[in-house]
Structure 1
Amino acid sequence: MALLSIIWNWARGEGYTALPWPAAGMERSKWRNKEKPRKMKVPDHLYEAIYAQADQPLRDCMDLGSATGMRLTDCITVLMPRGDVLHMEASKTGKEAEWDLSLSATLPGLLARRRAMNADHLMLLSCPDGKPLNFTRLRYRWDTAREQAVVVAGLANDDDLVRAIRALYLRDMRKRAAQKSEDLEAASALLQHSDKRITERHYGGVRKLKPVS
């Protein structure tokens, strides 16, 4: 409904229709379009299936997203750090965060490769030719790696893995970051959520309980 409302209002602004939004007032009724959050687990074997087929720029993006919980837009636009501390202002919320890259097992390598590159931009992620890694370039790389991973899983007759690979999106690296966190509180802090219930509802797989006896 929200998407249809946006499209309808755009059409009115462009002069395609002068009619009001047909569902106006329905938000005050008992009717609701209860959209369920998309549940997607990103275990190691699924992550590694695509990672094995990815080129270095895509691997860097996957590593950055799954290590920091950054949204894909922020992974693409985050700037090179001057030292080892990566600073980001979230494009969606405006919240700021910092990560000490020296504490990561994967990100120091990413930073070293980027610093050795003769690039014409200041973003952390880059193509081998020194050009920025934008959505179009990432999408091509992701689609290619995912299809290659599907072929490999298919040859192994692993139908469950084939389905999981096809259902995975690059933005799910943020979910993987949450699911790798020690507990719900740590995941919520990593994703900069104001309420732990948001983390649990939308990212799942992070409530880890201990037996009492």
Structure 2
Amino acid sequence: MGRKPTVNLNLPKGMRRRRRGDRVYYYLDIGERPRRELALGSDYPLAVKKWAELQLEKVPRNARPTFCDAATRYLAEVVPTKAPKTQDENIRQMETLQEFFGNPPAPLDDIWPVHIQQFLEWRKDVPVAANREKSLFSHVWNMARVWGYTNQPNPCTGVKGASETGRDIYVEREVFQAVYDEACQPLRFLMQLLYLTGQRPTDVVTRELKRHLATRTDGKQELIFKQGKTSKKLRVLVIGELLVVVEMVLIWKEGRPNSSPYLLVNEQGRRLSRSSLVRWFRDARLAAREKHPELDEEIAQFQLRDLRAKAGTDKADLAGDVRQAQRQLGHSSVTMTETYIRNRKGDTITPTR
């Protein structure tokens, strides 16, 4: 009787694992003497599938493609093609999915809609995150079908996502001013630019000056944005209050020799980092709450991203046309803009008489 295997216990009978340099390949020992093996490839799930086809046997449970197999390939091949911020989000989301579907590793063919519902129940305390993770699971599953890991329908189909409430914060002028007064100068510049341009914090902070600021043929300047989330290109004319702020930013940079080529820099002339912004804004908000207890709740809810919604809401009010806000925000439709700014400030109406 042959020796009982002590390694590669996930391999079905007759399947061999061989390392060639930095890669691992799988083979089928067809049982002849001298030994002869058929190559099954380097992708473990597909190798097991080929083994089953050649052996005409049912794949053992511990050798069937699992969610972790699909997730590993997805992280290696699909995630790197996404925007940097999306990559970071996907990596965090995948850790949560693998904690639920990978302990122990669940074979793809054994995952059903009821398990997706159980996952949503497990994550009921964070409904927004749960829905994003469910969407990522769905995409991983669709890619697993493309790769041949499973032929089963997507178990997310027909499973309603967790109920979530959209953010409806409108930053009133006094709340903005309270935090602005306590902020350091780089954060003040950022707050002004976020409001005046209506762009996302990432799109303002991570763009280089030479790609941000351009001079038109008529002599006017414009700030050029390519939105990281949608790749939408926008050109914001540098006029009015925005012109004043941009000039102040440029003077600030001139006072810091050898400063970073990015539009916004810190006291040392280096590019603003996410961790610094988070700390500065947290400290400014805390100081503002202590100084203005009457605005404590409103200030506590204020986040930098809310300035984009404030910009769109104020733009629609001042212009009297939501389409102006749509263009500023870079939304693909008026409906999207209306949904985005609805209930932020409330409708203005006239009295009955």
TM-score by length of 2: 0.52
Q: 1: CA distance between counterparts of 2:328 and 2:288?
A: 29
What residue identity is the alignment partner of 1:149?
Answer: A
Cα deviation, residue 106, structure 1: 3.1
- Equivalent residue of 1:34, what SS? coil
**What is the distance in 2 between the residues matched to 1:121 and 1:44?**
32
Report the Cα distance in structure 2 between the residues aligned to 1:12 and 1:208, rounded to whole angstroms. 44
Say which SS state the counterpart of residue 166 (structure 2) adopts. coil
Matching of residue 172 in structure 1 with residue 306 in structure 2: yes
Name the aligned partner's letter for residue 181 of structure 2: A
The one-letter code of the counterpart of 2:297 is R
Identify the structure with the greater strand proportion. Answer: 2
Moved more, 181-190 or 143-152: 181-190
Larger Rg, first or second structure (1 or 2): 2
- Cα–Cα, structure 1 residues 11 and 178, in superposed 2: closer, same or farther, change >3 Å? same
Q: Is the 8 A contact 1:184 1:207 kept in 2?
A: no
Amino acid in structure 1 at the alignment position of 2:199: M
- Partner Cα distance (1:76, 1:153) in 2: 29
CA contact (8 A) 1:200 1:207 kept: no
**AA paired with 2:238?**
L
Question: 2 CA distance for matches of 1:125 and 1:11?
Answer: 39
Asked if residue 92 in structure 1 is aligned to residue 229 in structure 2, the reply is yes
Q: Which residue of 1 aligns with 2:280?
A: 141
2:337 equivalent to 1:199: yes
2:260 maps to a residue whose letter is H
Residues 106-121 of structure 1 correspond to what in structure 2 (within 5 A)? 106-121=245-260
Task: Name which of 320, 327, 333 aligns with 1:189.
Answer: 327
- 3-state SS in 2 of match to 1:106: helix
User: What is the CA distance between 1:33 and its match in structure 2?
Assistant: 2.4
Measured at CA, do residues 141 and 173 of structure 1 come closer, stay the same or move farther in structure 2, by a change above 3 Å?
A: same
RMSD over equivalenced CA pairs, Å? 2.9
Instruction: Using the TM superposition, give the Cα deviation of residue 43 of structure 1 relative to its aligned residue in structure 2, in angstroms.
Output: 1.4
Taking the aligned partners of 1:149 and 1:135, their CA distance within structure 2 comes to 21
1:48 and 2:177 are equivalent in the alignment: yes
Residues in 1 aligned to 2:187 and 2:93: alpha-carbon distance in whole angstroms: 35
Matched residue of 1:91: which SS?
Answer: coil
**Structure 1 residues 7, 196: closer, same or farther in 2, change over 3 A?**
farther
Higher RCO (CA 8 Å, separation ≥ 6 residues): 1
- Could you give the per-residue CA deviations for residues 80-120 of structure 1, whole angstroms, max 9, x where no partner exists? 12543211111111111112223425333223323443244
- 1:25 corresponds to which residue? 155
Q: Supply the distance in 2 between the matched residues of 1:37 and 1:144 (Cα, whole angstroms).
A: 26
After superposition, give the CA deviation of every residue in 1:53-99 in whole Å (9 maximum; x if it has no partner).
Answer: 00100001101111111111111112212543211111111111112
One-letter amino acid of the counterpart of residue 126, structure 1: V
CA distance in 1, matches of 2:340, 2:230: 16
Give the letter aligned to residue 71 of structure 1.
R
Per-residue Cα deviation, 1:179-213 (whole angstroms, up to 9, x for no partner) = 220332111111100112222222334787686x9
SS of the equivalent of 2:312 reads: helix
1:162 CA displacement:
0.3
Residue 172 of structure 1 and its aligned partner are, at CA, apart by 1.1
Aligned residue number for residue 69 of structure 1: 198
Counterpart residue type for residue 168 of structure 1: F
| Alignment-derived partner of residue 102 in structure 1 | 239
Measure the CA separation in 1 of the matches of 2:245 and 2:99. 47
Give distance in 2, aligned partners of 1:76 and 1:108: 17
- How many residue pairs are counted as aligned between the two chains? 204
Indicate how the Cα distance of structure 1 residues 119 and 101 shifts in structure 2: closer, same or farther if over 3 A, else same.
farther
Provide the C-alpha distance between the structure 1 equivalents of 2:314 and 2:172, rounded to a whole number of angstroms.
9
- Conserved? CA contact 1:187–1:206, under 8 Å: no
Match of 1:131 in 2: 270
Unaligned runs of 5+ in 2: 1-89, 117-153, 216-220
TM-aligned CA distance change 1:27 to 1:140, over 3 Å: same
Identity of aligned residues (%): 23
Letter in 1 for 2:304: L
